[in-house]
Amino acid sequence: MKINISRQSIYLISLSFVLLIFILLFAFLLLIPEGKTYRENRLVVKKESAELRKYQQYNDETQERLKELQHENRHIITAFDTDFNPSRFEKQYAKYFSDLKLKQETRLDDEKSFIVYEVNTSSKINSPQSFYDFLDALNKSDWIISVNFPINFVRENMLIKSSFKMKVYADPMESNTTSSEEL
């Protein structure tokens, strides 16, 4: 029995066999090993993506909290940038006293992050209530000021003379804003 196969069919079968061997070699030598590293890299990327989302969420929460705090404390933030002016202070708070005088004593160097002035005030008031009103107004002032104890009250005829020390905190030359030169 004679098998009659044409020359074209033999070429086609041999070419198909060569291509099959090439595809099998390509699959076993390149695709399968690379697929294994692909799966390993995909797991690493998934872990890093989860970690990135966690840090991004933390960053967003922290940024939101920062914005809230800046909004709540914008008065304090602007107070640090405001320079202390003794004459303006006397004009602004003279309404609480019949006589108000400021005397700058010393500049303290023990505070590293602030310039601290110690100011001794002497004033004559009608009643202690006006002094407490002054303290309330001082909390809403344009400066960061702390009133230190002792606060001395001495009665002189119909007036009460008060004497106390207060520290005025100012930001030393640095600002919270970025200058155009730094950009």
Range from 38-42, 111-115, 152-156 carrying the lowest mean pLDDT: 111-115
CATH architecture type of domain 84-170: 2-Layer Sandwich (3.30)
Give the residue carrying structure tokens 């009643």: 127
Over residues 83-97, the pLDDT tens digits come to: 777 777 777 777 777
pLDDT at residue 182 tops 60? no
pLDDT at residue 176 tops 50? no
Residue 26 φ/ψ, nearest 5 degrees: -60, -45
Mean local confidence (pLDDT), 73-84: 77
pLDDT at residue 181 tops 50? no
pLDDT for the residue 178: 45
* Burial class of 16 by CB neighbour count within 10 A (0 to 12, 13 to 18, 19+): exposed
Report which secondary-structure segment, H or E, holds 34: helix 32-72
pLDDT at residue 23 tops 70? yes
Mean local confidence (pLDDT), 132-161: 76
CA distance 167 to 115: 10
Say which amino acid occupies 113.
S
Q: What is the mean pLDDT of the chain?
A: 77
How would DSSP label each residue in 83-150?
PP-HHHHHHHHGGG-SEEEEEEEEEE-S-SSSEEEEEEEEEEES-HHHHHHHHHHHHTSSSEEEEEEE
pLDDT for the residue 175: 46
Nearest to 145 by CA among 95, 102, 96, 97: 102
pLDDT at residue 81 tops 90? no
Give 23 or 90, the one with higher predicted confidence.
23
72: region left, alpha or beta (phi > 0 left; psi from -120 to 50 alpha): alpha
